[in-house]
Amino acid sequence: GGQFKREVTVDGQSHLLLIREEAGAPDAQFASWADAVIFVFSLESESSFEEVAQLHALLSDLRGTSDVALALVGTQDKISSSSPRAVEDARARALCGDMRRCLYYETCATYGLNVDR
């Protein structure tokens, strides 16, 4: 994991984001201080998609997620004929619906798709 800072402007108001990249399951300490969680999975990996669902369930057990902003992000940098898409849009959106109050984005860093968003 890593730590990052980024200043963003939302509705004309400046906010400083303190971003902490976590690898692995959330623990009680993480659950107690997180204001928002972005779950990232690879669109060409069924196992990464399933892991996101498990991590969300763990976070929900540690802390009700109704007061935590959630986003689900599917990355697609390596989709090709030799590495086809494994997770369809409808399945990702269904998981996002199950998470409640969750935004869903598909990104591609190679082409800049939804990276800033």
* pLDDT tens column, 78-92: 766 777 788 998 999
pLDDT at 93 over 90: yes
Q: What pTM, to 2 d.p., does this model score?
A: 0.80
* Cβ–Cβ < 8 Å for 17, 5: yes
Six token digits for residue 78: 């390596």
Rounded CA separation 77/23 (Å): 20
pLDDT digits (tens, 9 = 90+) for 98-112: 888 899 999 887 777
Rounded CA separation 33/84 (Å): 37
Task: Give buried/exposed letters for 24-60 (b at 16+ CB in 10 A, else e).
Answer: eebeeebbeebeebebebbbbbeebbeebeebbeebb
The per-residue pLDDT for 110 is 76
| Assigned CATH for 34-105 | 3.40.50.300
Can you give the residue ranges of every domain in the chain?
A: 34-105
Rounded CA separation 75/33 (Å): 26
pLDDT digits (tens, 9 = 90+) for 49-76: 999 999 889 888 888 777 888 999 999 8
